[in-house]
Amino acid sequence: MAVSLSKGGKVSLVKAASDAGVANAAALTKLMVGLGWDVNRYDGGAEFDLDAAAFMLAGTGKVRSSDDFIFYNQKVGPGIEHMGDNRTGEGEGDDEVINVDLSQVPADVEKIDFTVTIDQADAKHQNFGMVENSYIRVCDAASGTELIRYDLGEDFSVETAVVVAELYRHGGEWKFNAIGSGFQGGLAALCANFGVDIG
């Protein structure tokens, strides 16, 4: 049974894996992080294109370099692989997937923040108030067992980017933090926040 978190909730990855019945939970390193959403409140005609990304952060809360920003145009980083851009969000299940191998994440990376932004939000007059049923889930990549799930709820209005959750090191182990923090300014605002130079 997956651990279901609300905003601000935290859980040890080992505990979540153990609770879900994963054999040798303490040795778990390969994860599948799925993000999903539905768009139900929009009739302006333009497609919604939501984009998931991961930021690998040092102890400063910033990326070490722009190589630590993993997204649809830079799909691979140390220990992380973005599995591709879903441009419509249609269909059941995860809309975008990011695979993580914690054993390959460099030791000076303390956090991996997972985000979702709306492509061309300002031009299309779109925001997260028009998005429903948003979630992030963490699964054991080997078995597909869901370990952690965080449903974001409907507490956004004008935001065009959301820091959904993070994996972070604490006391020698990885933990998960359900953040659900919205930003205005889309991807550019997130990149500025995390120290990514997008030119």
Q: Are 194 and 61 in contact (CB under 8 A)?
A: yes
Residues in the chain where the model's pLDDT stays below 50: none
Sheet strands side by side (includes 69-70): 10-12, 173-183, 161-170, 111-118, 50-57, 69-70
Triad 158, 153, 144: Cα angle to 5°: 125
Could you tell me the two tokens for 117?
A: 């932004």
- How many residues can be counted in the chain? 199
Q: What is the pLDDT of residues 176-186, one digit of tens each?
A: 999 999 988 88
Amino acid at 71: F
Per-residue model confidence (pLDDT) at position 123: 87
Per-residue model confidence (pLDDT) at position 147: 96
Q: Identify the burial level of 87 via C-beta atoms within 10 angstroms of its C-beta, where 0-12 means exposed, 13-18 middle and 19 or more buried.
A: middle
Query: What pairing do the DSSP bridges indicate for beta strands 3-5 and 146-151?
Result: parallel
CATH number assigned to the domain covering 3-194:
2.60.60.30
Q: What is the pLDDT of residues 114-155, one digit of tens each?
A: 999 988 888 888 888 888 888 999 999 999 999 999 998 777
